[in-house]
Amino acid sequence: MRLATGAAVAVLGTGGIGHAVVYGIDGGIGRVDPFGGLSNRPGGGRGMNVLLVGTDGREKITEDERRRYHLGGVPCHCTDTMMLMHLSADRERATVISLPRDTYTEIPEHADETGGVRPAHPQKLNAAYAEGGPGLTVRAVEQLTGVHVDHYMEIDFTSFMKTVDVVGGVQVCTVRPLKDDYTGLDLPAGTSTLDGGQALQYVRSRHLDGAADLGRMQRQQRFLASLIHKVSDGRLLLNPVKFQEVTSAVLDSVRADRGFGADQLLELGRAMRKLRPASAEFTSVPVAVANYPVAQIGSTVRWDEAAAGKLFQALREDRPVNAVPRAPHRTQDAKPPSRRDGPAPTAVEVAPERIRVQVLNGSGVDGLGRTTDEALRATGFATTGLPAGAPPPADGHTVIGYDPRWDRSAHSLAAALPGAELRPVPGQGPLMKVVLGTDDPRVRPVRAQDPPPQHGGGVPVVTGDQVICPDPA
Residue 24 resides in a domain: yes
Could you tell me if residue 243 is left (phi over 0), alpha (psi between -120 and 50 degrees) or otherwise beta? Answer: alpha
Query: What mean pLDDT do residues 133-142 have?
Result: 94
**For residue 272, what pLDDT band results from cuts at 50, 70 and 90?**
low
Query: In this structure, are 431 and 461 located in the same domain?
Result: no
Query: In this structure, are 379 and 413 located in the same domain?
Result: yes
Cα–Cα distance measured from residue 31 to residue 184, given in angstroms and rounded to the nearest whole number: 33
Q: Does residue 363 or residue 335 have the better pLDDT?
A: 363
**Tens-digit pLDDT profile for residues 165-210:** 877 888 888 777 888 888 888 888 888 999 888 888 888 887 666 5
Query: In this structure, are 310 and 175 located in the same domain?
Result: yes
Query: In this structure, are 412 and 386 located in the same domain?
Result: yes
Is the Cα torsion angle 295, 41, 93, 313 positive or negative in sign? negative
Query: In this structure, are 295 and 440 located in the same domain?
Result: no
Average pLDDT, the chain: 77
Query: In this structure, are 429 and 458 located in the same domain?
Result: no
**Domain CATH for 437:** 3.30.70.2390
Residue 319 resides in a domain: yes
When divided into structural domains, the chain yields a total of: 2
Cα–Cα distance measured from residue 286 to residue 245, given in angstroms and rounded to the nearest whole number: 38
Query: What mean pLDDT do residues 240-252 have?
Result: 64
Cα–Cα distance measured from residue 172 to residue 159, given in angstroms and rounded to the nearest whole number: 20
Q: What pLDDT does 103 receive?
A: 93
Cα–Cα distance measured from residue 398 to residue 376, given in angstroms and rounded to the nearest whole number: 14
Q: Model pTM?
A: 0.65
Query: In this structure, are 299 and 411 located in the same domain?
Result: no
Per-residue CA distances from 136 to 44, 276, 372 (Å): 19, 34, 48
**Tens-digit pLDDT profile for residues 368-413:** 889 999 999 988 898 888 887 666 666 678 999 998 878 878 888 9
Cα–Cα distance measured from residue 368 to residue 165, given in angstroms and rounded to the nearest whole number: 56
Query: In this structure, are 293 and 419 located in the same domain?
Result: no
* pLDDT beyond 50 at 142: yes
Residue 333 resides in a domain: no
Residue 337 resides in a domain: no
Q: How far apart are the first and last CA of the chain?
A: 28
Q: Does residue 120 or residue 76 have the better pLDDT?
A: 120
What one-character DSSP code corresponds to residue 103?
A: B
Residue 58 resides in a domain: yes
Query: In this structure, are 364 and 250 located in the same domain?
Result: no
Distance from the Cα of residue 314 to its chain's centroid: 20
**Tens-digit pLDDT profile for residues 38-91:** 888 998 888 999 998 887 655 566 677 667 666 665 555 567 788 898 989 888
Identify the domain containing residue 444 by its residue range: 346-448
Query: In this structure, are 311 and 361 located in the same domain?
Result: no
**Domain CATH for 151:** 3.40.630.190
Do residues 100 and 214 lie in contact, with contact meaning Cβ atoms separated by under 8 Å? yes
- The letter for the amino acid at 326 is R
Angle between helices 4-12 and 212-231 (to 10 degrees): 10
Query: In this structure, are 239 and 279 located in the same domain?
Result: yes
Cα–Cα distance measured from residue 356 to residue 367, given in angstroms and rounded to the nearest whole number: 21
Residue 472 resides in a domain: no
Residue 340 resides in a domain: no
Query: In this structure, are 268 and 354 located in the same domain?
Result: no
Residue 336 resides in a domain: no
